[in-house]
Amino acid sequence: MVKCPKCDAVIDVEEDELDEGEALSCDECGATVNVVSVDPLELEAVEEADEEEEDDDFDDGDDEEEDEEDEEDEEDEDWK
């Protein structure tokens, strides 16, 4: 029996079919749970705030280009 580390609900999967690093989803609380170890079985809930922070840390530089284009458009409108 596999239990969610966040809400203790039973997750419907076969323990012997799990692999290390596999991601599961809890139907009760919606948490994403990673399999840390299979012998003994150890699960870890993924913190959603961490995922958002990782996305925020990545900057592809497109925002600066878009800002410059917006400024140029505004200048063109002011000129007319």
Can you list the pairs that 44-53 forms with residues at least 24 positions away whose Cβ atoms lie under 8 Å?
44/5, 45/4, 45/5, 45/6
| pLDDT of res. 51 | 47
| Least confident segment among 24-28, 32-36, 69-73 | 69-73
Mean pLDDT of 12-16: 91
pLDDT digits (tens, 9 = 90+) for 40-77: 999 999 986 644 555 555 555 555 555 666 666 666 55
Task: Report yes or no: 27 and 35 within 8 Å, Cβ to Cβ.
Answer: no
Q: What is the CATH number of domain 2-79?
A: 2.20.28.160
